[in-house]
Amino acid sequence: MKIICIGRNYATHIEELENEKPESPIIFLKPDSAILPRKNPFFIPPFSNEVHYEVEVLVKINKVGKHIAAKFAHKYYDEIGLGIDFTARDVQAKCKEKGLPWEKAKAFDGSAVVGEFYAKENFDLENLQFQLIKNKEIVQDGNTNAMLWKIDELIAYISQYFTLKKGDIIYTGTPAGVGKVSENDVLIGKLDGKEAFNIKVK
């Protein structure tokens, strides 16, 4: 399986990082080794002093697809979830300055939190509320209605470049409110009020 991530899919997040609004979805990948094992804490890597949380709605692909039309994209997933794209922001900044790839900052071991998955039929995917709570304080509060590209549009776009396979996970972008994690932080993700994950930082 592979993890396909979308960058800059919420205007508020683009603004807070002072990035340019893209003309098409920005795609980057994480290896399966990036997935944080269930019930494990997240360990801040020694090569970064500024790891940021980015909460994102996840989509799990249920069958093989290539060159998928947006109108048929809904047939390629049954479940959605919530996760965190941990980002070594200081490492990313250095890579961006030199025009280098972001993998060291985005794809390191443990950088992908994958929470519980739920049947998509139980949610309004066009108006789905999600939150990240850090030490009992809401730090990110997003809604899929603010996505620049909706889930089905993302699947159609991604499938023009990569064959999607059963078990692949798509991270659909993060809203505003990203910030640094510190030792002993507790991060809880909620999807439409349901607790999708609970992570301790070491």
Domain containing 65 — which CATH number?
3.90.850.10
The per-residue pLDDT for 154 is: 97
Number of domains in the chain: 1
Q: What is the mean pLDDT of the chain?
A: 95
How confident is the model over 133-142, as a mean pLDDT? Answer: 98
Grade residue 12 by pLDDT with cuts at 50, 70 and 90: low
Range of the domain at 40: 3-200
C-alpha dist (Å) from residue 80 to 51, 65, 116, 149, 183: 25, 18, 8, 16, 29
